[in-house]
Amino acid sequence: MSFITGRKFINQEALPHMWCQGCGNGTVLSALARTFEQLKYTNEDTVVVTGIGCWGKADDYLTTNALHVTHGRALPFATGIKAAKPELHVVALMGDGDGTTIGGNHFIHSARRNIDITAIIVNNLNYGMTGGQFSATTPHDAITATTAFGNPERPFDVCALAEAAGANYVARTTIYNGRLLRSSIKDALTKKGFSLVEVISPCPTQFGRRNKINPAVEMLRSLRDKAVTKDVFDKLSAEEKDNHILIGSLVNKDAADFNTRYEEIRSKALQK
């Protein structure tokens, strides 16, 4: 009996990876590699696009084709690839800083365009690599390097943003919920149209340390205790909802994707 290990998608020579102890990135990378294997993807038909940040380093450890681009711009690069070569599996790996803060504009437009890209946003609630500054998903009141006494702003609900903008598939999970992580990545990869998996992940080095949630295992316990599915979440009071994480598949529909609509217009134009 053989097991799915995802090993052939991991560049063994680049290991050990550079992520901190207790970081969730390795868990997500492992789930991604295993899902690639499960879906029988190959290095030749898969392109991973990353931006800048800790999770943006993921391409270093993958054997697929990879395009490592500028800060916040993974999605427009991925859009170029998918538009030119619709047969490729195009996966954009971004953090919350990369995907929803400096690159937030591209995020909503990729979802609006419903282009067949799988976006995996590992949300660790701050800019980890540059030293733990506030991002667009930093909770209100949280301490970061640039919000020394608490964040005055409100965070984005990344999944609601993708849903409102028109994504075909939206799911949220945490790195504690390993099975859901795998199944969400699989559903996102196989869905035609824009798919988002938001993975809530601990950053013990920057976020945990400043917000007194440590050691790293405490951050994992916190994810375990806070993560609830929709049936439970819906019964919570508004106040309780603020302190919980809604996980599971949140949007699953089949609106025509960008390439399909583009081909429709093209064939109409050619008939004239």
Binding residues for other proteins, per CB under 8 A?
Answer: 52, 68, 70-72, 101-102, 104, 127, 129-131, 133-134, 136, 145-149, 153
Of 71 and 192, the one with the shorter C-beta distance to other proteins is: 71
Contacts of 121 (CB under 8 A, 6+ apart): 94, 95, 96, 99, 100, 158, 196, 197, 198, 199
Of 142 and 251, the one with the shorter C-beta distance to other proteins is: 142
User: Cα–Cα–Cα angle for 122, 34, 95, nearest 5°?
Assistant: 10
Of 34 and 210, the one with the shorter C-beta distance to other proteins is: 210
**Residue 75: CB minimum distance to other proteins, A:** 14
The span from the CA of 162 to the CA of 114, in Å, is 10
Give residue 100's identity as a one-letter amino acid code: T
Of 153 and 254, the one with the shorter C-beta distance to other proteins is: 153
Strand residue runs (E) in 131-224 = 169-174, 195-200
Answer whether the bond into residue 215 is a cis peptide, omega within 30°. Answer: yes
Strand order in the sheet with 118-123: 65-68, 46-50, 89-95, 118-123, 195-200, 169-174, 248-252
Q: What are phi and psi of 257, to 5 degrees?
A: -85, 175
CA distances, 79 to each of 12, 64, 70, 99, 106 (Å): 29, 18, 14, 14, 10
Of 56 and 166, the one with the shorter C-beta distance to other proteins is: 56
**Residue 202: CB minimum distance to other proteins, A:** 20
Of 136 and 251, the one with the shorter C-beta distance to other proteins is: 136
**Residue 68: CB minimum distance to other proteins, A:** 7
**Residue 134: CB minimum distance to other proteins, A:** 5
**Residue 78: CB minimum distance to other proteins, A:** 17
**Residue 42: CB minimum distance to other proteins, A:** 26
